[in-house]
């Protein structure tokens, strides 16, 4: 994240020093997540929604479902669209305006996890091939930025999808008629993103904002429910060694299972 340094140098140094001794300023272990609170169904107007608190980071995800045309290369599948808004009230560094590269990258990482793991059975969202399908809009709304927006957004997005109800319909000629009652959106996989930061050549999980400002680089692995890797993204100006990445992949496997349990519970 390209945020001007707001952490004073002394504190930056302290954060880095502690980490090289295996400790963190907020007393977490290097591989510990902050406390996660997840609520679903918080917005009644949306077909699905979820609000996550990861420490002080807060993200709200709303899912809206509309009908529209499919992509010509996959005429029998519904369409998934992920968008992220870094709302100005979430951080003094966010500005209103068209999406910048940070929000686009965030949206695309979340999108890649859901798409590549085939979390939504898009083939079940077809109404009339080539003509009409359901479009699933996932809107990620960052409400408070305190680091690791990627994991928070990915998890909230999945929780919102699991919470999503689609209206029942029947076809009268070319017209869609809405019938009473709802069916669950077919979610068949649970991709979980685990983000690492590299500070002083150590790898830590779930960096908070001040750690993000000290880190050399970050690295996200998205894991499916069967432990397969479905998406990866490196970010930041630094670099990683191959060994660090492979070690991170092992930690990600454990951590993603841990997070998935929290998700399934809520």
Partner 1 sequence: MAKKSSEKAEKSEKTEKLINKNDIRVDGRKLNDLRPVKLEVGILANADGSAYIEQGKNKILAGVYGPKELHPKHLALPDRALLHCRYHMAPFSVQERKSPAPSRREIELSKVIRESLEPSIFTEYYPRTSIDLFIEVLQADGGTRCAGITIASLALADAGIPMRDLVSACAAGKVEGHLVLDLTDTEDKAGEADLPVAFMPNFNAITLLQMDGKLTSEEFEQAVGMAVEGCKQIYTHQKEALKAKYLVKEEAVEE
Comparison of 144 and 220: residue with beta carbon closer to partner 1: 220
Nearest to partner 1 of 186, 238 (CB atom) = 238
Helix (H) or strand (E) holding 38: strand 36-40
Question: Among residues 40 and 119, whose Cβ is nearest to partner 1?
Answer: 119
Instruction: Closer to partner 1 by CB, 94 or 240: give it.
Output: 240
CB of 184 to partner 1, least distance (A): 24
Rounded to a whole number of angstroms, the minimum distance from the CB of residue 247 to partner 1 is 11
Give the nearest distance from C-beta 44 to partner 1 in angstroms: 30
Q: Shortest gap between Cβ of 250 and partner 1 (angstroms)?
A: 7
Report the C-alpha gap between 212 and 239 in whole angstroms: 15
Closest to partner 1 by CB, 109 or 142: 109
CB of 45 to partner 1, least distance (A): 26
Which residue, 145, 146, 143, is CA-closest to 208? 146
The CA distances from residue 173 to 129, 170, 187, in Å, are: 14, 10, 29
Cβ nearer to partner 1, comparing 43 with 86: 86
Residue numbers at the binding site for partner 1 (CB under 8 A): 99, 101, 104-105, 107-108, 112, 115-117, 217, 219, 224, 227-242, 245-246, 249-250, 253
What's the min distance (Å) between Cβ of 175 and partner 1? 31
Could you give the CA distance from residue 150 to residue 240 in angstroms, rounded to a whole number? 19
How far is Cα of residue 19 from the mean position of the Cα atoms in its chain? 26
In whole angstroms, what is the distance from residue 131 CA to residue 213 CA?
48
Q: Least Å distance between CB 161 and partner 1?
A: 18
Angle at 33 between CA 32 and CA 38, to 5 degrees: 150
**Residue in 24, 22, 50 with CA at minimum distance from that of residue 262:** 50
Q: How far is the first Cα of the chain from the last one, in angstroms, to the nearest whole number?
A: 30
User: Which of 49, 40, 34 has its CA nearest to residue 264?
Assistant: 40
Short-list 245, 190, 257, 195, CA closest to 220: 195
Nearer to partner 1 by Cβ, of 143 and 249: the residue is 249
Beta 36-40 vs 48-54: how paired, if at all? antiparallel
């Amino acid at each position: 994240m390209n945020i001007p340094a707001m952490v004073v140098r002394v504190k930056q140094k302290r954060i880095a020093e502690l980490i090289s001794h295996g400790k963190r300023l907020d007393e977490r272990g290097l591989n510990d997540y902050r406390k996660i609170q997840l609520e679903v169904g918080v917005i009644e107007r949306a077909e699905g929604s979820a609000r996550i608190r990861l420490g002080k980071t807060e993200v709200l995800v709303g899912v809206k479902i509309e009908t529209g045309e499919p992509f010509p290369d996959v005429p029998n599948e519904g369409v998934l669209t992920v968008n992220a808004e870094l709302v100005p009230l979430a951080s003094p560094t966010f500005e209103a305006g068209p999406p910048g590269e940070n929000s686009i990258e965030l949206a695309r990482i979340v999108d890649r996890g859901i798409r590549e793991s085939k979390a939504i059975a898009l083939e079940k969202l077809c109404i009339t091939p080539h003509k009409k399908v359901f479009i699933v809009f996932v809107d990620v709304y960052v409400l408070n930025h305190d680091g690791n927006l990627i994991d928070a957004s990915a998890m909230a997005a999945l929780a919102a999808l699991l919470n999503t109800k689609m209206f029942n319909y029947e076809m009268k000629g070319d017209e869609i008629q809405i019938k009473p009652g709802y069916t669950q959106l077919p979610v068949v996989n649970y991709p979980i993103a685990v983000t690492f930061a590299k500070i002083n050549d150590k790898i830590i999980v779930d960096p908070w904002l001040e750690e993000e400002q000290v880190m050399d680089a970050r690295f996200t692995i998205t894991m499916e429910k069967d432990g397969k890797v479905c998406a990866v993204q490196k970010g930041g100006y630094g670099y990683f060694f191959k060994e660090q990445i492979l070690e991170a992949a092992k930690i990600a496997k454990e951590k993603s299972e841990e997070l998935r349990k929290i998700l399934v519970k809520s």
